Structures are given as structure tokens and as C-alpha cells.
Amino acid sequence: MSTTERAYLDWNATAPLRPQARAAMVEALDAVGNPSSVHAEGREARGIVEAARERVAALVGAEPRHVVFTASGTEANMLALSPQTGGRWQRLLVSAIEHPSVRSGGRFPTVEEVAVTAAGVIDLDDLAKRLAAGPQALVSIMLANNETGVLQPIKEAARLVHEAGGLLHVDAVQAAGRIPCDINALEADLLTLSGHKVGGPKGAGALVKRAPLDLHPLVTGGGQERGQRAGTENVAAIAGFGAAAGAAKANLAAESAHMQGLRDRLEAGLRAATPGLIMFGADAVRLPNTTLFALDGLKAETAIIRFDLEEVAVSSGAACSSGKVQPSHVLKAMGVSPALARSAVRVSLGPTSTEGDIERFRTAWITVSGTLLEKSRGMAA
Ligand code: PLP
């Protein structure tokens, strides 16, 4: 389906494939060899993987040999979160707003959560307190939250973690390609990336190290990825990820400014059209592409369907698990009531979003909010 007929405003769920990624993937599909083979065909496939590794490394200022390709951001998070990674870190601290793939704790038996403020920013005092209260910890904090877009103070957290002898893992899945994201500047020890959030294919991810560090492999077998992740590499997906990372890096400043301009206009329009609108994380530093808002009395699940009928793709701040819509754990951690959290709608833009998309959203919102609020007030009367 073409995104031009509709307004696709759910880029935090996944980004459309960049043309450069598509071209690289189509070409790589014809590479016959196994990257582990020594003959010419194998060397050609190896060359494709290593070129992609260089581009992914460059996106975050890392050394190519420190990039471990995985099948998703989720897998990269799982690979990072193991008590055996590096061998010294026996307990896990994660922020209360992490993606479920981090909150589940990976291969740690238990997880300790670090609080966030009402603005959706990690509480550094709580982190310091928890670090001081036990043995050296592996700490996982995201760079940008997928629901609110709020950026986390990674450098300050890194200082606290390192002073306490800990190791810092940063899930940069939503930040990479949208804001500068340099592993050395952030002082992150490990960093997770996902191909499909930067305009590469779904099913490709990477765990990036700042310095040599022995990971505890999740997938064992052959010696691929320097023994850190076994299995014949998905050459085409890796090629697409590499090409997308290259394009994202080359266009970062322009794309970021473009998204921010549109997002700011979208928010101004929303505020003007909607008395009582609540915008989450708006007082914090956020990604340039994300808006999460709520309106008392609105049901997000129904709003999303209505938006879809108006040819607008957005998502709710609520996660659906076992068929039951749960209020977002992110908003809960920020102290938002379950009722208000159930009305949260997320709009996320990308580099090819247009003024037309924003206008379509604005018109749809007037219809959606008008109809649904009338209905819910009618029912309450
Ligand atoms: N981390 C964050 C912050 C995410 O938003 C996502 C996906 O939505 C992931 C990790 C998981 O990435 P993947 O879809 O590649 O498994």
C-alpha cells in the first residue's frame, strides 16, 4: 500500500523502507555465497556484510568490529542483558519506561526498576540510591522513549553507573537516525539498534560495543559474528540495514529539522483545536518526530480505528497483551491515571512525512474527537 494515499504517522512502530535499502537488498539477494565460505562467492557475500557493518558502526561512531548483527532490536537487548556478559555484573537495573524487551530482564532472574519523573525522565537520584544499595549492576536505560519521545540523560547516568563499577546498556532503537547518537559521546558500554526504525528491513538489529567486551551468546553454534551470535548471516537484511544507516547518517540534520518543523505545526494545530488537550513529555527534551497526547473522555482504541477509517495511521499509548488493552506502563510510571492513559494517542513522523499528512491528520482529528467525545458524553448523560 502506498503511503501517499494515506497519512502514515506511526514511524515509531516501523519506518517505510528507504529506497537505498531496497536497492541494496535486491542486489544482495543475488549474492550466492555463504559469508563464511572462502571461495569468491563467499567472499562477495562477506564483503556485503562487512560494508554494512561499517555503515551501522558509523551511524553511532563505533568500530565496525564492535557491531554484532542480530535478527532484531529485541534480540540485541536480550543479548546484552545477561549476568554472564562481561562476567562482573550480577544484578539488573532498568528504567521503568523501557521497551518490554528490556523490562522482561533478558536472562537475569529478576529486574529492579528505576523511577522516572512526571515528565518521563529517569530519576537520577533514585538510580544513584539503587546503585549504592547493592553489588555492581548492569543498567539499561533507553536514549529515547518509544511512546513519549522523551530523551534520557544518558551521559549523567553513565557517570553514576561507572562510578559504581557498573555497565551501561542503552537501547537507542528510537533515537538512532533521528538525533545524533554517538556511543563514545554517550559513554554507553553497549547500544542496541533496530534496522526497521531507520528505514531498513524488519528483522535486522545490532548490539554495538564501545570497547571489547565478551557477550554471553544467546544463539550458539557456528562462530559467526566473532562467536557472539551464531547462524548464517541474513545477508540481504544486513545489506538493507547498512544502506539505511548510511542514508540516515548522511541526512540526519536535514531530516531531523524537517520532522521537527512538521511535528511542531501538528502540535500547535492540535492545541488550538482542542481545549483540555494533554501532551505528555512536552516539558522535556524530546525526539523531533513524536507526539503523545490525551483527552479526557476519549478512548484511544476506538480513536485509532476511527483515524484508520479517515486514512490516517496512528497508534495508542496502550499495549495490547493477551487481547486485553492495558494502560501504558510508561504513562503509569509518569504518574498518569489509568483512565487518562487509556485515551493516549501517539503520532510519530518520519523523513518523508509531508504538510499534506499533517493536514489530513488535523482534519481527521476534528472528526474523530468530535464524534467520539459526543458519544462518550451522551453515554455519561
Ligand atoms: N526498543 C525500543 C525502544 C523499541 O521501540 C523497539 C520496537 O518497537 C524495540 C526495542 C524492538 O525492536 P525490534 O522491533 O527490532 O525487535
Atom index in ligand 1 nearest the CA of residue 195 equals 15
Residue with cell 467520539: 372
pLDDT at 376: 66
Is 68 strand, coil or helix?
strand
Nearest to 49 by CA among 193, 212, 254, 204: 204
Distance 99 CA to ligand 1 centre (A): 7
Mutational test site, ligand 1, from 194, 234, 329, max ligand atoms within 8 Å of CB: 194
Nearest to 228 by CA among 37, 68, 80, 82: 68
Residues taking part in catalysis: 320
| 104 vs 363: CA distance, rounded Å | 39
pLDDT at 353: 98
- Give the Cα-Cα-Cα angle 331, 288, 209 (nearest 5 degrees): 85
pLDDT at 322: 53
pLDDT at 370: 86
Distance 130 CA to ligand 1 centre (A): 26
pLDDT at 2: 46
Distance 36 CA to ligand 1 centre (A): 29
Q: Which residues of 294-307 are buried (b: 16+ CB within 10 A; e: fewer)?
A: bbebbbbebbbebb
- Which residues have a Cβ under 8 Å from the Cβ of 367 and sit 6 or more positions away? 306, 310
Distance 146 CA to ligand 1 centre (A): 8
Q: Is there a contact between 286 and 12 (Cβ–Cβ < 8 Å)?
A: no
pLDDT at 373: 73
Q: Is there a contact between 10 and 348 (Cβ–Cβ < 8 Å)?
A: yes
Atom index in ligand 1 nearest the CA of residue 98 equals 3
- Which residues have a Cβ under 8 Å from the Cβ of 82 and sit 6 or more positions away? 106, 107, 108, 215, 216, 218
| 134 vs 71: CA distance, rounded Å | 34
Nearest to 349 by CA among 341, 339, 358: 358
Q: How many helices (H) and strands (E) does the chain have?
A: 13, 15
Mutational test site, ligand 1, from 173, 178, 190, 287, max ligand atoms within 8 Å of CB: 173
Q: Burial-class residue 267 by CB neighbours within 10 Å (0-12, 13-18, 19+).
A: middle
Atom index in ligand 1 nearest the CA of residue 72 equals 15
pLDDT at 86: 82
Q: Is there a contact between 188 and 154 (Cβ–Cβ < 8 Å)?
A: yes
Mutational test site, ligand 1, from 94, 145, 146, max ligand atoms within 8 Å of CB: 146
Q: Is there a contact between 378 and 44 (Cβ–Cβ < 8 Å)?
A: no
Distance 197 CA to ligand 1 centre (A): 8
Q: Is there a contact between 25 and 201 (Cβ–Cβ < 8 Å)?
A: yes
Distance 194 CA to ligand 1 centre (A): 7
pLDDT at 355: 97
> Where do runs of H (alpha helix) occur along 122-179?
124-132, 154-163
Residues with CB under 6 A from ligand 1: 72-74, 99, 101, 142, 146, 171, 173-174, 194, 205
Largest CA distance in the chain: 76
pLDDT at 317: 65
Give the residue whose CA is nearest to atom 7 of ligand 1: 13
Long-range Cβ contact pairs of 179-183 (< 8 A, separation 24 or more): 179/143, 179/144, 179/151, 179/252, 179/256, 179/287, 179/288, 180/252, 181/59, 181/60, 181/143, 182/60, 182/61, 183/60, 183/61, 183/62, 183/208, 183/210
Segments in the chain below pLDDT 70: 1-4, 317-324, 376-381
Atom index in ligand 1 nearest the CA of residue 101 equals 10
